[in-house]
Chain A
């Protein structure tokens, strides 16, 4: 029996537009997950948004970029273990539960419906822009190097084993500023590729790969931004999602593929112009203006550069003479009072080495790093070995130094010392400590060629 079938080819629906119940469920979960991660639910955020860039610091712009992981559980600021991911897990659980409820109301089964592609597109747009602006803001801190600074004079005089892992990781980048610029450039480049639809796949792939590496490095070195980096890895994978099937088909299965990615037509009139305006504004503020702000404030923020040290004094000194209450103490590496050496940083920090244990301040949280020089603690946090750090106020009229131990658990330790410079490289300190012991110390500057190379470091210290 012959049937008259009309000789028409019906174009098969593109697999990307076929939405099975499982695929719809995954999409719904991703939508809710992305909303939780990218859209700040705290109303205070929007109140403060009006102040963007207002105080003219790069922080005022960078602060708005990146993810906003909700804090269902307060894990504190010093988080190391797997537990620190708890908020990501809770958000995922919420996404799965809500997606299940949403799917329960959907009786349609497998659909060919482009509205899901529209939803997928806009969800990924949100993830793309959040990740892009965040990684660009992150990259600028390295591209205009300030996240990792050149080592302080004291850092160069501290044994490798006295540092915490985080210090070692940060400083290894810091000693090579060109390398830091390269890292920043790579991060900014990844961000820029995510801002353009056609380069999105490349950017998402690099984002997931690079930030997963950063995440693991943060675990390995206790760098503390592992959760933050992992968020970008997750975002990279979500953004990559629509591209995985075509890539798999062409390269692994060896099939010809005509990709389909929904993209709204912004072709005409005000829609087109407002898109261009919004995108331009975002790029101008978060890339152009933020770059300008970074250049304007190109000095690092780890050390209190804005609080300069005593003029023409910075250097490493040997302690030639040390008298306590009139009694001369000879040098001994075992003495808990007698200074072994003394270092004046370029900023208002004075450090001494002596054989006396202290309560370690091992936090490496970057919060509140823009405080006063006394409370700027990066330079001694996570550094052991008997080095004691003092912040000082110089009274240049009376030639007095008022020193206070920077370690919060040893703030009672203070000195008031009169300084004099009887000859080149020699500095005499005379005065009392907080226990009213009288001190008389002769310091002689030591010139040293460090093995650590140092084109930039030499330049920095000699020609600044």
Chain B
């Protein structure tokens, strides 16, 4: 064996160990998560999180604080563990001969990483097939100035406005995952994965998406699987010389292969169906409680009285409401000139109660977002600011609807100031929701 080849084999062994260790749930948090959930009501986000789980030791998941390379700090621990295993297997292989069999390690690792990556791709593809990961921007977000978004939110909304295109991207992800099920098509699945994820890796860093670690992991595993066939591709396409196929031996008995394929297809169907079901029933990023019937829309605040003082229209008065938006769900957003401290938390793939579903209010400046509860007996709305930096803001308002276009809100804020606002539905259309292919006046 030439020295060059020997060095390459050593390197492959280390990389294999590193990726396998990185792919195993070897931290405490995973088990806390696993046993904290209520398993009788399994949720799609549990599946997605399981497939995308990476061990972390330094709180990287608190991604508000770790936007750069800090997210990769746990990889140093993983690298050390892999180095220890590398050393130990070498030392112990004199006693246990099977530990010296690097090909066997590689073959098993390849199978494990193929399925690990396949499940991950299919799960993340499924939540794009149905617009769960990138929902259409809310009405309040559509009325928010472009400069008032954090970059990641622009990225999300850019995909959110084209559900069909996003579904196509999700479809390609699912296809790449399915191609990884079969040894003969792994090279195509891995190639597709690299093509997709390279773009995502660059986007994650460029748009400060908050979770750069997972795309880089997917890239590495995809490249590891693709590299298996690189020598063959190189000989066949670059050198244009005689090329032998991969012998495609598998350490798995045939019966197991059938079972694993069956289970994988089962997983793919379950997660795609779960995504469809979640999209129809209760998309997890959007609050589920429906808003007060007939209120959804954009309202101009015609009249605003604070402590019996009428405040005229103003773009600079910090108390004066400028306009109000009622969402289809139980959220209302108010535009004032008072500065907002932007909620910089990233998206959360989690099943959360309505009030904690902050996708609509995170990463966006300009408006104040309130979740509300309606007491139908007294027609009272209890408003609570969803932004963690402004939790103290509350309103207690009675609501009167007149003729479907006018709403009168009257009551108190958390400082016991009395407030009265007369809202009038605005004659205002958004180009994004209209067709630009015909003459239009806006």
Contact = CB atoms under 8 A, between A and B. Distances in A.
Contact of A220 (B141, B164, B192, B300): B164
A315 interface: no
Interface in A142-200: 151, 155-165, 168-169, 171-172, 175-176, 178-179, 182, 198-199
Given A160-B146, A172-B158, A357 B432 contact: no
Nearest to A247: B236
Interface in B107-160: 137, 141-151, 154-155, 157-158
B436 A256 contact: no
Nearest to B440: A360
Interface in A241-257: 243, 246-247, 250-257
B248 interface: yes
Interface string B403-442: 0000000000000000000000000011111101101111
Contacts of B150: 451-453
Contacts of A159: 142-146, 430
B145 A157 contact: yes
B240 A259 contact: yes
A258 interface: yes
Contacts of B246: 251, 254
A157 B185 CA distance: 49
B238 interface: yes
B142 A250 contact: no
B151 A164 contact: no
Size class of the contact patch on chain B: 35 or more
Contact of A254 (B149, B236, B248): B248
A256 B158 CA distance: 46
Name the interface size band of chain A. Answer: 35 or more
A340 B300 CA distance: 14
Contacts of B157: 160, 168
A358 B164 contact: no
Contacts of B360: none
A318 B316 CA distance: 9
B146 A161 contact: no
A251 B184 contact: yes
Contacts of B164: 220
Nearest to B188: A251
A162 B146 CA distance: 10
B243 A257 contact: yes
B245 A451 contact: no
A397 interface: no
Contacts of B316: 318
Contacts of B168: 216
B312 A330 contact: yes
A175 B150 CA distance: 11
Nearest to A257: B243
B436 A161 contact: no
Nearest to A176: B206
B439 to A, nearest CB: 7
Given A156-B145, A161-B143, A179-B202, A358 B243 contact: no
A182 B236 CA distance: 29
Contacts of A151: 146-147
Contacts of B439: 359-360
B202 A258 contact: no
Given A258-B241, A359-B439, A451-B365, A333 B148 contact: no
A360 B145 contact: no
Interface string B375-391: 00000000000000000
Interface of A: 78, 80, 151, 155-165, 168-169, 171-172, 175-176, 178-179, 182, 198-199, 201-202, 205-206, 209-210, 216-217, 219-222, 243, 246-247, 250-259, 261, 318, 330-334, 340-341, 357-360, 362, 382-386, 448, 450-453
7 contacts: A159-B145, A160-B142, A161-B143, A164-B431, A221-B162, A246-B237, A256-B242
Interface of B: 137, 141-151, 154-155, 157-158, 161-162, 164-165, 168, 184-185, 187-188, 191-192, 195, 202-203, 206-208, 229, 232, 236-246, 248, 300, 312-316, 322-323, 342, 363-365, 429-434, 436-437, 439-442
